[in-house]
């Protein structure tokens, strides 16, 4: 059930607290802001007064001028791309985008500290893909191709920086975290779902470019998309981590939307793999989860990631019911979704828990208030994030 009123309250507080609609210094964090842009677009779609679209556009501008530039206090300055001021304004994503962590990145000669690295700045591929998606949604909402073009430029830059060939005649791999200037890896391991996120997001960007006419500028991502598909280990997608589970389900919904647009003709097998992996992870998560624990023992934004993914399951089921048909080749989406729909109640359980004011007074909520509030808003009103704004729905 969509709760636009509660989502609006959450997003209004976020906008004021982080300097989007107030005189406070802007506090930008790429993951949170990507979801926030989508939320504002969803609120604009629901309310239609123009105010929320302007907030989405203002947030895009703040992110580019904050996270697309070097940190205050860094010996480096200006755009991460090294472009001059005027050219950087025209191409704000050409150098990637910082995470927005509170500590500066680890220097080349500093020892690696696994715990400390979580709080250090740099660039994450899975954050960049979320921003690509947010920019693409802005193109869908405004009809302006430039945002999709910026997203595809960012996609090209990210692919070039994060992928590598470890040895001759071996397949490509990915780094999990790169330095702010994309010159060196900070964490060399590969994220479990990073190639999947790359494949789905890049396919989405190219599909949108064909619909909106954005191919007149910016790169074609066909080769990069093929690279990411080859890196996906389709037998190792399952996870019991709620945030990872939510990501699997959101990616599955994106694949499903691309299939309906005939933009991903071979997507049925991948969709089946994603739904199967998510089901295995959900069964494990529900058995061992902390959903019955106190608020201080829970991490809200990770649970809310799962809630958003379960909203995607509901949207897929609605599409199947409205179509009342199976897809070609005997692939029965309804049959694949049926066991997942048994877990939809978990979404509402998570939302109800974190809508309780007492639970939002816990230190674990307050410590991550921005990301928690934004992702709760996404779960309550998920269409701005989940539904591709340019597609024929």
pLDDT tens string 243-266: 999 999 999 999 999 998 888 877
CB 44 within 8 A of CB 141: yes
Question: What's the token pair of residue 78?
Answer: 């200006």
Does residue 48 fall inside a structural domain?
no
Does residue 313 fall inside a structural domain?
yes
Please check the confidence at residue 25 and state whether its pLDDT lies above 60.
yes
CB 236 within 8 A of CB 274: no
Count how many residues are written for the chain.
Answer: 393
Please check the confidence at residue 302 and state whether its pLDDT lies above 90.
yes
pLDDT tens string 202-238: 999 999 998 887 777 889 999 999 999 999 999 999 9
**Boundary residue ending a domain (170, 205, 233):** 233
**Boundary residue ending a domain (233, 258, 291):** 233
Same-domain check for residues 225 and 261: no
Please check the confidence at residue 173 and state whether its pLDDT lies above 70.
yes
Please check the confidence at residue 299 and state whether its pLDDT lies above 50.
yes
pLDDT tens string 29-55: 999 999 999 999 999 999 999 999 999
pLDDT at 328 (0 to 100):
43
Does residue 21 fall inside a structural domain?
no
Angle, helices 242-260 vs 194-212, to 10°: value is 30
Same-domain check for residues 210 and 271: no
Please check the confidence at residue 327 and state whether its pLDDT lies above 80.
no
Does residue 175 fall inside a structural domain?
yes
Q: How far apart are the first and last CA of the chain?
A: 19
Q: Is 169 helix (H, G, I), strand (E, B) or coil?
A: coil
pLDDT at 288 (0 to 100):
82
Gap between the Cα atoms of 392 and 289, Å rounded = 37
Same-domain check for residues 201 and 257: no
The boundaries of the domain holding residue 321 are 234-393
Same-domain check for residues 393 and 244: yes
Same-domain check for residues 228 and 240: no
Same-domain check for residues 261 and 315: yes
Does residue 392 fall inside a structural domain?
yes
**Boundary residue ending a domain (177, 206, 233):** 233
Does residue 35 fall inside a structural domain?
no
Name which residue leads in pLDDT, 180 or 260.
Answer: 180
Does residue 107 fall inside a structural domain?
yes
pLDDT-derived band of residue 128, with 50, 70 and 90 as boundaries?
Answer: very high
CB 243 within 8 A of CB 278: no
DSSP letters, 50-102, are SHHHHHHHHHHHHHHHHHTBPPTT-S--SBTT---HHHHHH-TTTT------S
> How many domains does the chain fold into?
2
**Hey, what's the torsion of the CAs at 349, 191, 205, 98, to 10 degrees?**
90
Gap between the Cα atoms of 316 and 258, Å rounded = 12
Same-domain check for residues 224 and 245: no
Dihedral pair phi/psi, residue 94, rounded to 5°: -70, -20
- Please choose, from the candidates 67, 82, 80, the residue with its C-alpha nearest in 3D space to the C-alpha of residue 31: 67
Does residue 362 fall inside a structural domain?
yes
Same-domain check for residues 240 and 377: yes
Question: What's the token pair of residue 106?
Answer: 């680890």
- Please choose, from the candidates 166, 164, 134, the residue with its C-alpha nearest in 3D space to the C-alpha of residue 151: 134
pLDDT tens string 275-291: 999 999 999 999 987 88
Same-domain check for residues 92 and 226: yes
Same-domain check for residues 125 and 238: no
Q: Is 124 helix (H, G, I), strand (E, B) or coil?
A: strand
Same-domain check for residues 260 and 358: yes
Q: How many CB atoms lie within 10 A of CB 11?
A: 27
Read off the pTM.
0.96
pLDDT at 168 (0 to 100):
74
**Hey, what's the torsion of the CAs at 38, 42, 45, 49, to 10 degrees?**
-80
Q: Strand locations in the chain, DSSP E? A: 123-124, 163-164, 173-174, 177-178, 185-187
Same-domain check for residues 210 and 277: no
């Amino acid at each position: 059930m969509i709760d636009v009123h509660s989502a609006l309250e959450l997003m209004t507080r976020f906008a004021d607290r982080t300097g989007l609609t107030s005189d406070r210094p802007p506090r930008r964090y790429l993951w949170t802001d990507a979801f926030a842009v989508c939320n504002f677009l969803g609120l604009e779609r629901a309310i239609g007064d123009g105010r929320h679209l302007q907030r989405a556009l203002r947030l895009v501008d703040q992110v580019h001028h904050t996270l697309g530039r070097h940190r205050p206090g860094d010996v480096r300055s200006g755009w991460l791309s090294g472009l001059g001021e005027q050219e950087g304004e025209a191409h704000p994503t050409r150098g990637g985008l910082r995470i927005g962590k509170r500590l500066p990145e680890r220097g080349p000669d500093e020892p690696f500290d696994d715990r400390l690295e979580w709080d250090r700045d740099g660039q994450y591929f899975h954050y960049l893909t979320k921003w690509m998606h947010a920019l693409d949604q802005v193109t869908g909402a405004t009809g302006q191709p430039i945002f999709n073009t910026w997203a595809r430029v960012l996609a090209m830059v990210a692919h070039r920086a994060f992928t590598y060939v470890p040895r001759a005649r071996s397949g490509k791999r990915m780094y999990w975290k790169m330095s702010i200037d994309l010159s060196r890896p900070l964490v060399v391991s590969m994220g479990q779902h990073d190639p999947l996120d790359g494949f789905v997001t890049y396919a989405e960007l190219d599909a949108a470019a064909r619909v909106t006419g954005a191919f007149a500028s910016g790169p074609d991502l066909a080769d990069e998309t093929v690279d990411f598909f080859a890196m996906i280990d389709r037998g190792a997608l399952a996870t019991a981590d709620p945030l990872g589970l939510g990501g699997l389900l959101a990616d599955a919904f994106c694949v499903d939307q691309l299939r309906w647009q005939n933009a991903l003709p071979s997507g049925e097998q991948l969709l089946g793999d994603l739904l199967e992996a998510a089901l295995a992870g959900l069964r494990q998560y529900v058995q061992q989860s902390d959903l019955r624990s106190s608020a201080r023992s829970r991490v809200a934004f990770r649970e809310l990631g799962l809630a958003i993914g379960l909203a995607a399951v509901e949207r897929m089921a609605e599409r199947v019911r409205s179509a009342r048909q199976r897809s070609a080749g005997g692939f029965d989406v309804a049959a694949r979704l049926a066991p997942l729909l048994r877990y939809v109640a978990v979404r509402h359980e998570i939302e109800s828990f974190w809508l309780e004011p007492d639970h939002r007074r816990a230190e674990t909520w307050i410590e991550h208030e921005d990301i928690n509030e934004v992702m709760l808003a996404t779960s309550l009103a998920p269409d701005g994030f989940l539904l591709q704004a340019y597609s024929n729905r």
